[in-house]
Amino acid sequence: MLRLTACLLLLMRLAAFGEVHPPAQVTAGKGFSISTTGSGDASFYLISPGHVAKREVKLGQDIPVDASDVKKAGRYLAIACGSGGCNSAAFYVMAAEPDKVSFFLHPSRVRVKSNDAINATAFVFDQFYNLVLTPVTVDFKVIPKTGPPIDRPIKSNLGVAWMRVASTPKQGPVKVIAEVGKASEPRVIQQVASDACNLRIKATRTAKAVLIETDPLRDCSGNAIPDGTIVSFTEIDGKGKTTVDVPIKKGIARTQLPVNGRAKISVASGVVIGNEISLGGGL
C-alpha cells in the first residue's frame, strides 16, 4: 500500500511538471514551437548534432525554437527539467531544399570513343550543407568541343547521383556540368586520341641505309596521334632481328635502318600492328 501511494505521488508530480511535445519532423533552418504541459518554471535544453542550447521557460506555454538552432539535419532531443524531474522527447530535422552540388569527374584524361569512360558523381546539399536524402533530379550535361551536347537527367539516391557516358569522337576539352535547381558545377575532362588506325610505312633508299617513315598517324576518328607516342620499327634480315623505338615528331615517325641483302620491315604502335614491307637488292 505504501509503495502504491509513493508511485501515485510521483505520477502526480510528473503530471504537474508536464511534458514537451515537439513536431515529429521539421525542416532545417525553419523556426517552430514546442508545446508543453504542466506549470511552473523549468530549464529547457535542446541537444542537436551541432550544439546544445539552454534557456529558462514556463511550462504550459509553447517554447519557440529559433531557425538558427536547427540548421544541422539529424536527431534532436528536447528536454525540460524542473523541481519535479525531467521529461524529454526526440524529433528529427530534415535537410532543406537543394541549394548546392558537389561534383566529381573521373578520370582527368580519357581516350575518344571509349564506352562508359566518363564517370560523373554529384552530391546534393541544402544551404546549410546537409546532404539532401530525398530524391531530386540532377541534370548532367556533357558539352564536347564539337557536336551537340548530351543531357542526362539522373534521380539522386540518398543524396548521390552518378552517371557513366562514352567519350565523344573528337579529341580536346569536354565540359561536364552537374545542375540542381539554381546550383551548377562545371568540370572539364581532356579527351585524347585513341590507338593509331591504318598504320602504314614506306621506305626510301639512301646512300648508306634505308629511310623508313610512317604516313601521318591518326586514330580511327581522324584525331592526330600526339607527338611523343612511341612507334616500333622491326627489321629482320640475314643478320637477325633489330627493333628501333622512335617517338612521333610532327605527326610522323621515321628512322634509318641498315639493310643487309633481303629484309622484312614491320611497324607497330601499342597494340596496333601496321603493314610489312619486303626489301631486296633494290627498291
CATH of the domain at 19: 2.60.40.10
Output the pLDDT for position 2. Answer: 43
Which of 63, 94, 125 lies at the terminal end of a domain, its last residue?
94
Residues 11 and 59 in one domain: yes
Q: Mean of the pLDDT values across residues 205-222? A: 89
Output the pLDDT for position 62. Answer: 94
Output the pLDDT for position 50. Answer: 82
Structural domain range at position 70:
2-94
Question: How far is the C-alpha of 63 from the C-alpha of 21, rounded, in Å?
Answer: 10
Output the pLDDT for position 7. Answer: 37
Tens of pLDDT, residue by residue over 112-150, are 999 999 999 999 999 999 999 999 999 999 999 888 899
Output the pLDDT for position 88. Answer: 92
Which of 171, 192, 213 lies at the terminal end of a domain, its last residue?
192
pTM: 0.76
Q: How many helices (H) and strands (E) does the chain have?
A: 1, 23
Q: Mean of the pLDDT values across residues 216-234? A: 93
For 245, other C-beta atoms within 10 Å of its C-beta total 10
Q: For the chain, what is the domain count?
A: 3
Q: Is residue 181 over pLDDT 50? A: yes
Residues 109 and 60 in one domain: no
- Percent share of the chain, pLDDT over 90: 74
Residues 6+ apart with CB under 8 A from 145: 170, 171, 172, 173, 174, 191
Residue 164 confidence class, pLDDT cut points 50, 70, 90: very high
Cβ pair 38, 18 in contact under 8 A: yes
Output the pLDDT for position 17. Answer: 58
Which of 78, 94, 110 lies at the terminal end of a domain, its last residue?
94
Tens of pLDDT, residue by residue over 7-63, are 333 433 444 456 899 998 999 999 999 999 988 899 999 999 988 999 999 999 999
What type of residue sits at position 159? G
**DSSP string of 197-214, one letter each residue:** SS--EEEEE-SSSEEEEE
Q: Mean of the pLDDT values across residues 262-269? A: 91
Residues 172 and 244 in one domain: no
Output the pLDDT for position 208. Answer: 76
Q: Give the cell for residue 50.
A: 551541432
Output the pLDDT for position 160. Answer: 97
Q: Is residue 273 over pLDDT 70? A: yes
Output the pLDDT for position 9. Answer: 36
Q: What is the mean pLDDT of the chain?
A: 89
Residues 90 and 104 in one domain: no
Residues 64 and 144 in one domain: no
Question: How far is the C-alpha of 70 from the C-alpha of 68, rounded, in Å?
Answer: 6
Tens of pLDDT, residue by residue over 2-11, are 453 343 334 3
Residues 114 and 75 in one domain: no
